[in-house]
Structure formats: structure tokens, C-alpha cells
Chains A and B, each alone.
Chain A
Amino acid sequence: MQRKILIADDDVQMVSALRTLLENVGFTVAVTHRSKEVVELTRRERPDLILLDVLFAGMPGPDGFEISRKLAKDAELRTTPVIILSGVKRVIASDFPVEPDEEWLPVAAFLDKPVRPDQLLKEIERLLSDRSHS
């Protein structure tokens, strides 16, 4: 069966590039540009994995960190692995560590933009195989 990946990013080009790659290697893709919709969409679509941006420009709504915390608290959705895909890591004045953390940043991985296809696919495969084993 085809596995489904939810892409949540405000950058249209980025979403397009990701969709092209992922569909070509055989994933089904769901997309949103609005951070407010991420949790609702996840509940509806039930993706096997979420690629989540951090900063959603120009629109009101939670950032990627908040979304990840909401998902982690949701009993139904908490098992869906989340990969944060963002350029934010080297931008924010990081006087605190920006790393996956159970409380603050409950995600499976943090990938820095720009990312290369093989890097991204490797991480996705790793997380999906972990999940199918568990």
C-alpha cells in the first residue's frame, strides 16, 4: 500500500519540489500552506509521516514547534512521526539548543534547509521502517 506523507510549509516552491520528489519515489502526498490546518488535516488524512516547517509567514497561527507539541498531546496522532524541515536553526538567536526534545520539541528529527533528496529520503525511510517494526 502507498504510504502518505503530509507536507506543511508556507513556501510554494518548496512544497512543489518536495511533492515532485516524494511522488516520484512512490509516496502519496497531502499538502497545506496554513499552519492552522495542520492538526485537522493530520486527523483527516492520517499520514504516515509529517514534514513540518517552523515559520509560516504572513498568516496567523501556531508555529511548527507548537504544532508538534499539539500532535504529541493528541492520543490518536502522537504516533505519527514528525520531521521538522526548516532553515530556522541557524537563524534564531539560539541561546537554547534547537534539538528534538520530549517536552519542548517532540519530533522524530530536525533537518536543516537546504536538504538534499538522498538525505531526506534516508531519514524518511529510517523513521517509517522504525514505525513498521514497532
Chain B
Amino acid sequence: MRLLTKFILTTVAIFLMLAITLSTVSTLWINKNTINDAQHRVEVAIRWAREAFNQKNRDAHQVLAVVAQNELLRDFLDNPRDPKLAAAVQEKFNNFRLQHHMDLLNIVSADGTVLLRTRPPFNRGDDISDNPFIRHVLLNGKSIEGTIVIARSALIREGESLLERAVDATGEPNGMFTGTAVPVMRGGKLIGIISSGILINGNNDFIDTVRDAVSYGDYYKGRSVGTATIFMGDKRIATNVVGNKAGRATGTSAAADVADMVLLHGEAWSGRAWVVDAWYLSYYEPLRDPDNNIIGMLYVGELEQKYRDIRFKAVASVVSVIFVAMILSIVVFILIARSILEPVRKLRDATARLIKGERSARVTESFGGEMGDLTRSFNNMADDIERHTAEIERKQRELAALNSELEMTNRNYIDMLGFISHELKNPLASAVLSLHTVKDGYLGELNDKQKKGLDNVAESLDYFKELIRSYLDLSKLEKGDYVINRRNTALKSAVIDPAINGLAEEIRRHHMTLDIGVHDDTMVDADPDLLRIVYDNLLGNAVKYGREGGAIRLREKVRDGRRVFSVYNEGTGIPREKMDLLFKKFSRIYSPENAGKRGSGLGLYACREIVRKHGGEIWAESEPGKWVEFSFEIG
């Protein structure tokens, strides 16, 4: 994988992990905070709701406290049966009740009997001392405010319209009232009680006032953000929660676990609540009457969707910021990585070009820092390589030139050798023929002295002849273009016999015995002309260096499955330390015994060349002072 790809993948992986981690953490943080915040808001809201709720009563209480000082009222209490007074009070207080949006405004005697109801049908004379407000004032002589439940039987007395309102709104025959009762005193003595109340059941104005204190009437996606509900027991009797059917959800019940917690155990309940058709962050607390009995619940809730959406927006914006930042970082990182890798890429390209043989390949751009050092080192190295290579090539060219010069020189030498030898051969041939014509008596008999003199000449000519032969052989062999012409050859008749023919006279002269152990039918795959040179040389040596009267033996043997041919002669042999020199060009082994015997120093060298050209080898064995044997095998 390319380095840049690795960088990019690693970077993306790291940034992705970072982004995911950051997103998760911030999402959790936002969740926790928005929910906490919302829950906190709800808790604040219920205090506002409670406050708004109580404010109504306090207002009523203050109004009634003033009214309690009213002289008309006092006169009426002193003379409750005075019809004119009653009518006057009736009219004035009824107006007052309507003016202050009260459902009830009753004047009660000091023993708890209703003296006057301002609301039609103006029932009176019944004892309501069991009403918690009245009972409280009768007992303590002090005013009181709060919320109470009035049962159906008592509610009917207040006016059937109120009962109908309660039942219509909530299906409940009882009514929950919030209100106040204030004592009317004269001279420190209770002379009566004035009490007011507002029926909460189905009282939309009332509950909307409470709600508005909480959420200022905000709407979110068609739903009121803030909701408030008053429960009588577990029944919604006043609410601005919209029910499943059109209209408010009065008459429905609270969830059982909430009712259980709040109504039975008197504790507040807060959390998410499924209210009719949506989740609300909710707070419920008990509503108590002045006797501290739990008579219902006050609820406020904030639509959770709003907070969810806020939260979603927050999370979305945070996460998108993180991801945008990440992508930007990756892009920046890749750009940086590219610029860092640029020298590496250049180096790689230059190296590849260098390897392909483009010696001038260099990194031409200059970089800073370690990469700069690296590219400079590379360039220096490439310079060195170029210099050294050029040097080596120059030397190779020189060497090649020298070689071909040497070859040419050698060639010229060889050619000259051949030419000279051939040119010498013609005069030699006529000299030999003339000499022997005289010596052998064809031109008349010679005396012994004359013969002896001519013998010396003959010997010199023999040596001369051998030299020429050797040089010719050598010149032929060393011409590189010589191709050996192998064919099936009868060794004895085609090679050995002609070689012996030329030596027969000399063998006779030295009284040597010749033992030819090569069969007539022995065939070899060899060049007969070259093999003739081998036998000429080996036999010539055997005669020349052999002991006077000694034996010469020609043999064919089988050694390690290969045929070996040998020429053996008795004589001085060859010292062990001189064996290595035997087959070298121009090497002549001098020894006292061989003094005066001259050789060209080329014979054995030619033998080895010939044998090797046949893929074989030649070697010598000797017992110094006794015998020597040359053996060869051809492939």
C-alpha cells in the first residue's frame, strides 16, 4: 500500500474515532443538561403555578377583609331578618361577587347558618358549620383561605347551576373550590362570617391563568408548551391539556402510579409523563384542604418535544461542527502528508530511474529538514555511482582494447610462426632429400668418415624438422577458428602405424624394443590428424629420452569405465617436482642424463591442447631413473 494511502487511512480512522467519541460525549452532556434544565424549569414552574393559584385566594381574602368592615353587612348581621336590609345586601354583594368573578359569596351567622347567598336561587338557613372554612373560622375566629371539596348535597344548596357546571365539565358530582372565609367582628366578638369561593371544575379561565403564570402561553407545533391541571382526587377537573377528542381533557384520570405516589403518600412526583397524547416533563404535587387532607393534585408539565428538538438541534449542530472540523482536519493533514511525502516520492522515482540505468537520475527539487538531508545524500550517492560506473566502463574499454591488441599481437605471432615454418619447410625438404640421396649411397658409396659427417648433418636436420613440425602444429592449434574434425578412426592403422613409420629407423638405431598393445580393430572418435600429432610427440619423446636398448610400450586400458591410451618408455623418467611443468608451453626439462637432447618445448603442450579439445585429459606418471608413462583419455 502506498505511504500516502496509509497516512490518509490512519488519519481518517483517528479523526473518525475522535469525532465519534466527541459526538457521543457531547450528546450525552447535552441530553443530561437539557433534560435537567427542563426538569428544573418544571420544578420552578410548579412554584409559579402554586403562587398563581394562591394569589387568587389572597386577592379574595384581601377583598373580603375590607368587606368585613362594611357597615351595611354589620347591620345586616345584627338584623338578619330585616327584609329591607337583606335585599340591600343581596343586591350590593351580588354585584360585588360578579365583579370579582366569584362563584360563591355567602354570609354566615356566628353559629354557622347561612344567612344569605348572593347566588341564585339564594338558598338560606342551612347549617354549613361542617364546611372546612366555616368550621375553621368558628373555631379560631381567624380568617382562612385554601381549597376544599364540597360534596354534591352541599353543592346543590349553593345552586344547581354550579352542580351542573361541575358535572358537565368533569362528570363529578362534587366540586372543588378555592376560596376564603373571613370573620366579621364587633367589639372583639364574632358576629358572622363572610366567605367566597370559585368552582375550579371546568374553570378554564382559572386554569389558563395558572398556566400563563408558568409558560406565558407559548405554543410549540400547535401544542401549548406549558400545561397545568388541577385534579380532584385523580380526576382532571380543570386543565389546558387537550384531550384525544377535541376540547380539554377534563374528566380523564391521572396515571395510576402518579396518583398512588401523590394522593396516597403525599409526595411530589416528577419525571416524564405520558399525558393524553404526548410526553411531558411533569411535576405533580398534592393539593390539601385546610385540614391538611389531600384532596387532589396540582400538575404542571412542559412539552418534552420542545426540549427534544432543542436537544436534537444542539446535538446536530455540535456533531456537524465536529464532523466539518474533522473533514477540514483530514484535508489539511492530507495536504501536509503530501508535502511531507513529496521528497519520498521524488526519491522513489529517482531511485527507480537509477536502477533502470538512467545514471543522471537525481532529485532536482531541494527540500528542508531531514528529507532535504536524505535527498542530498541520495544525490551524492548517485554522483558517486555515476563517477564509479564511468570509471569502471573506461577501464573496461581500456581492458577490451588491450585485450584485442594482445589478441591481434598473438594472432600475428601465430600467423607469422605458421608462415615462417612453411617457408622453412621447402628448403628443408630439398635439403633432407639431397642429404639422404648422398648419405644412402645413391650417388656412389661413401667412406665411414664421410658417412659419419653426414649423419651429424642428418641429426641437425631431424631436429630442424621436428621444430618446424611443432611450430606448425602450434600455429594451427592456437588459431581460435580451428574446428576439430572428429570421426570414427582406426587408431592403429590410421594414427599409430604412420607415426611409427617415421621413427622406425631411429628405434632400430637405439636398439629399442617396441611393443604395440593396441588392437588392430580399436576405433576412436577423434580427429586423426590431431591424434597423429599426439602420437608423433609421445613416441618421439619416448625414442628421444628412452634408455638405449630400452622398451617402449603402447597400451590401451580401461580405467573407471573410460578408455585410456598410454605410451611407456624405460629411461630416466621425470622428477616429481618437475611434473607440473611438463605440459607448459616452452617448458623443457633439463637433466644431466638428457644433456644435449633438444626439444621445442611445444610437443607436450600441443598434446594437452589436442586432448582437451577432444574433451579429455592427459597426464604423466614416472618412477625417476626407471620409467615414464604418458596417458590420455579422450571424451
Contact = CB atoms under 8 A, between A and B. Distances in A.
Q: Do A and B bind each other?
A: yes
Contacts of B428: 113-114
Contact of B479 (A17, A25, A90, A93): A93
Interface string B412-438: 000000100110011111111110110
Residue with the greatest number of chain A CB neighbours at <10 A, chosen from B434, B437, B479, B529:
B437
Given A90-B472, A94-B485, A11 B430 contact: yes
Interface stretch (A29-37, A60-68, A74-82, A95-103): A95-103
A20 B443 contact: yes
The 9 closest A-B pairs by CB, nearest first: A114-B432, A113-B429, A13-B430, A114-B429, A14-B430, A87-B425, A17-B434, A17-B433, A95-B483
Contact of A13 (B427, B440, B482, B483): B427
A86 B288 CA distance: 157
B489 to A, nearest CB: 10
13 contacts: A11-B426, A13-B434, A14-B426, A20-B443, A24-B443, A90-B469, A90-B529, A94-B476, A94-B485, A95-B484, A114-B429, A115-B432, A117-B437
Nearest to B484: A95
Contact of A18 (B433, B481, B487): B433
A95 B482 contact: yes
B432 A87 contact: no
B485 A90 contact: no
Contacts of B529: 89-90, 94, 97-98
Given A94-B529, A97-B528, A113-B425, A16 B430 contact: yes
B440 to A, nearest CB: 6
A90 B430 contact: no
B428 to A, nearest CB: 6
A116 interface: yes
Contact of A87 (B422, B433, B436, B476): B422
Contacts of A96: 485
A13 B437 CA distance: 14
A17 B437 contact: yes
A20 B435 CA distance: 11
A118 interface: yes
A98 B530 CA distance: 12
Interface in B425-457: 425-434, 436-437, 440, 442-443
Residue with the greatest number of chain A CB neighbours at <10 A, chosen from B431, B528, B529:
B529
B436 A116 contact: yes
B418 A91 contact: yes
Contact of B442 (A14, A25, A87): A25
A21 interface: yes
B473 A21 contact: no
Nearest to A12: B430
A65 B425 CA distance: 20
A20 B425 contact: no
A99 B128 CA distance: 169
Nearest to B498: A112
Contacts of A16: 430
A13 B482 CA distance: 32
Nearest to B458: A116
B465 interface: yes
A34 B443 CA distance: 28
A113 B421 CA distance: 13
A87 B461 CA distance: 15
A24 to B, nearest CB: 5
A91 B422 contact: yes
A117 B440 contact: yes
B481 A93 contact: yes
Contact of B436 (A91, A97, A113, A117): A117
Contacts of A97: 485, 487, 528-529
A91 B472 contact: yes
A93 B476 CA distance: 6
Contacts of A17: 430, 433-434, 437
Contacts of B429: 11, 14, 87, 113-115
Interface string A106-124: 0000000111111010000
Contacts of B473: 90
Given A21-B442, A116-B432, A117-B440, 10 more contacts: A13-B431, A90-B476, A91-B418, A91-B476, A94-B476, A95-B483, A97-B529, A98-B529, A115-B429, A116-B440
Given A25-B442, A97-B528, A116 B482 contact: no
Interface in B313-330: none
A13 B473 CA distance: 25
Contact of A14 (B433, B440, B469): B433
Contact of B426 (A25, A95, A113): A113
B221 to A, nearest CB: 113
Contacts of B476: 90-91, 93-94
Contacts of A89: 529
Interface in A1-56: 11, 13-14, 16-18, 20-21, 24-25
Contact of A118 (B418, B440, B472): B440
B302 to A, nearest CB: 118
Contact of B437 (A24, A87, A91, A95): A24
A46 B465 CA distance: 35
